Every structure is written in structure tokens, then in C-alpha cells.
Amino acid sequence: MLMPIYGHIKVNRRRTFFLFFFFALLFLAAGYALGWYMGDPFFGIIAAAVIAVFILLISYYAGQGVVTSMAGAHPVKKEDEPYLYHTVEGLSIAAGIPTPPVYVIETDIPNAFAAGRKPDKAVVAVTRGLLNKLNRLELEGVIAHELSHIRNYDILIATMAIVLAGTIVFLSEIARRSLWYGGRTHRGKRDSGSQGLVMVVVIVLAILAPLFARILQFAISREREYLADAGAAELTGYPEGLASALEKISGQQVKDGPLDKQALQGLYIVNPALGRGTASHLFATHPPVEKRIQRLREM
């Protein structure tokens, strides 16, 4: 059974605080390790704390800009895409939220996502392929799904998870390279046992960092997709529109295509990695499309 919407919003807020806490702990631990290696653990912790606060603020206040840039999306005006804008406006009124700015990704692969931190600081992005390949009722279903994510505050946890996950991987790579090459210049200053211990820690962190990043992405729960699907059916009054759209979208994702970026997979209405043809749903960012369609058609 799906969680009531207000309970879902509270859970998403708790998950956001968990992301803050987890990210801060990870940074403080890394700062301590690097500080110890350089001879001043306290300085390492202070430096890590400053960097962590800066990145968290960027993630919170500028996350949607980072995400739209990563996706290659550009803003469009009402006069450029009147049909799309009218669809977003009408459904936003029905959802009781401000009309978000609209972005378009210039690719023929149909897909869409929403990003931001709250209803009045959110955006909706769709691909050119989505506009060209869906009929009116199908497009309304997709837009209603994304607006439901905005209304449910799913976008906050999703946007921050993407930015923080990318930051963890990027910084772990910098740390690995710095310690590897920097360690060579510091040989002789520390005994071989310490050198070996540090290198083991670096290797472990290099392996675990992508896993930590993936865990952050899994903070975007699969249940949110079912809830957004139900919200879309409520807003449009026509569940078949979204069900039909999901069938079309899921059948047109392309392996290693322009949308198939690991950091953004969990954000789209349908995972672009469906084009990979993977059989296991164990580590999927979305529930199986077939189950989503079945639930919609049973409404």
C-alpha cells in the first residue's frame, strides 16, 4: 500500500537530513585521514568541514542548475513552446503548485524529469522526442507525473542525491591521485608501514566511493515512482494516458545514448539505462515499468 502523501513528504525531509549528515561524516572522516597523513589531523577536519558546508549549500541552492546542465537541457519560453507551456500551466493549477520553468533536451529519445528543492524552486524538463512522439493525453500523463514529484517534495532528495553522489566520486578520484603521486614525494618522511596503511585506505576508499554514491542514488526510493504515477492519474483523471506513455518511452531508450548518464538515471520518468537490457531489478532506480503500467490500468 502506498504511503499517504503527507507521510511521504515527511519521509523525504528526513532522508534529506540523512543525506546532509552522511555526507558531512564522510567528509570529516576523509579530512581526518588526509590531515593525519600530512601531519595535522585537526587542520584536515577543519578544511573538510568548510568544503562540506560549501558543497552542501551549492547542492541545496544550485542543485537544479547543476542537474539541468548535466542533462544538457535548455530553458524555453511560452512563445517558443506554447503547447508544452499550456499543458504545464493547466496541470500545475490542478496540482496547486506554482507553474515551474520548462526546459527541453534536444534529443529524439523520449523522457522527462523534474528537479529543484521545493515547488516554487523547481523545473520540468522534457526531451524533444517526448514532444514529438506522444499524443496530448500521454504528454499530460508524463507532465502530471513530474508535477506530482514536485508536489511530493521528491525533487529535493533526488536533486541533492545526484549532486552529492557526483561530488563524492569526483573528490575521491582527486584524493586517490593526490595521495598516489604525493605519496611518492613524501617517501622517507614516514615509515614504510604508515605508507602501506595509507595506500590501503586510499584503495578501499576508491572502491567504496562509487558504492557510497550509488547508495545516495538509492535514497530516491522506488515507491516515489508509484506515488507519482498515482498522483498523475489523479491530476489528469485518465490513468491510461500515463500507462500508454510509459509503454512508448520504455521501448525507445538507447544504450549509451545522450540520456544514459549514471548520475541522472534515477531522475527520469523511465530509466535511460533500460536500453542496456539488464534482467535484474535488484539495483534498479525505478520499479519495473510493467508493474507501473499494470497498477495504472487497475485504477
127-150 per-position pLDDT tens digit: 999 999 999 999 999 999 999 999
Beta partners for residue 118, in sequence order: 121
The pTM score is: 0.79
Residues 6+ apart with CB under 8 A from 171: 30
pLDDT of residue 188: 47
pLDDT of residue 279: 41
The position carrying cell 570529516 is 28
Backbone angles phi, psi at 73, to 5 degrees: -90, 145
Q: What number of other Cβ atoms are within 10 A of residue 193's Cβ?
A: 8
Segments in the chain below pLDDT 70: 1-13, 15-16, 19, 37, 165-166, 168-222, 275-285
Amino acid at 120: D
pLDDT of residue 193: 52
The pairing of strands 73-76 and 121-127 is: unpaired
Q: Sign (positive/negative) of CA torsion 37, 38, 44, 47?
A: negative
pLDDT of residue 8: 60
Residues in the chain: 299
- What is the Cα–Cα distance from 208 to 203, expressed in whole angstroms? 9
User: Among all residues, which ones are annotated catalytic?
Assistant: 146
In the chain the domains, ranked by start, together with CATH numbers, are 72-155+221-297 (3.30.2010.10)
pLDDT digits (tens, 9 = 90+) for 152-192: 888 887 777 777 766 766 666 666 666 556 554 444 444 55
- What is the Cα–Cα distance from 266 to 39, expressed in whole angstroms? 41
Closest by alpha carbon to 173, among 202, 147, 143? Answer: 202
- What is the Cα–Cα distance from 296 to 287, expressed in whole angstroms? 13
Q: Which long-range contacts (CB under 8 A, 24 or more apart) does 171-178 make?
A: 171/30, 172/205, 172/206, 172/209, 172/210, 173/206, 173/209, 175/30, 175/34, 175/202, 175/205, 176/202, 176/205, 176/206
| Torsion from C-alpha of 139, 145, 150, 152, nearest 10 degrees | 160
